[in-house]
Amino acid sequence: MKKILASLLAAIALVSGAHANTEMVLDKFPKERVTDLAALQNGAKLFVNYCLNCHAAAFMRFNRLKDIGLTDQQIKDNLLFPTDKVGEVMKVSLDPKDAKAWFGGVPPDLTLIARSRASHSGSGADYLYTYLRSFYRDEARPTGWNNIVFPNVGMPHVLWELQGQRGAKFVEHADPHNPAKVEHHFEGFEEITKGKLSAAEYDSAVADLVAYLQWMGEPVQNQRTRLGVGVLIFLGIFFVIAWRMNAAFWKDVK
């Protein structure tokens, strides 16, 4: 029994160590963007212009964008296709068969993508913020693009005109466990062509887009947070009142 337990503990340690060695370091998403209406509106515009061609958001209606300060007319003029209506959900016309042939799979629905990507490495917003800033040119891939965060991803870099084109620099190192093998370590990006935005402007635009994706996964999150603060304040006040009432009730009891 002791040998079995020792073997299990060794296996768990080995798996944990391997996992720790491959743990991804994610950039921190600027959380304050989720409460910034201007950032959410810009993120919604980027989402419709660059994401909604392939990715649906089937659990979100266009008229819900009024919650981030847009009017029906603004939604119609800036975010709707001619055939869409304000009360409809954010669907796409891309045929699933074509998507599978072009990208190797059907692009996922993005309504809850920010929540689904949360892990021990960081929040879902952290993942998306890092992912959308980690594309690089790779002519070996069918789309001509690859990603450091999601190797061999089927999605092309749809924001490349804004960011520009970048290459990835890799350095070869001998595998410490097997000298016959060579490991490729990422060393950074190198600019190939400039984009419409500077690096800081692109990071800001991605932050706005991710803020919108975060908001879309739970549109009432800001109200929930404010309500939670109010509830905690009420409970704190009620605790003090109950504590003093309890002291007054039992003061004559010895």
- Average pLDDT, rounded, for the chain: 86
Ordered structural domains, the chain, with CATH = 25-243 (1.10.760.10)
- As a whole number, mean pLDDT of residues 192-205 equals 97
> pLDDT higher for 210 or 18?
210
- Express each pLDDT in 142-168 by its tens digit: 999 999 999 999 999 999 999 999 999
In the predicted structure, residue 13 carries a pLDDT above the cut 60: no
Looking at the whole model, is its pTM more than 0.85?
A: no
In the predicted structure, residue 98 carries a pLDDT above the cut 70: yes
Over pLDDT 70: what percentage of the chain?
90
- As a whole number, mean pLDDT of residues 187-201 equals 95
> pLDDT higher for 15 or 182?
182
pLDDT at position 30, please? 96
In the predicted structure, residue 209 carries a pLDDT above the cut 70: yes
pLDDT at position 17, please? 38
83 pLDDT band, cuts 50/70/90, is confident
pLDDT at position 254, please? 60
* Residues contacting 128, CB < 8 A, separation 6+: 29, 113, 114, 117, 210, 213
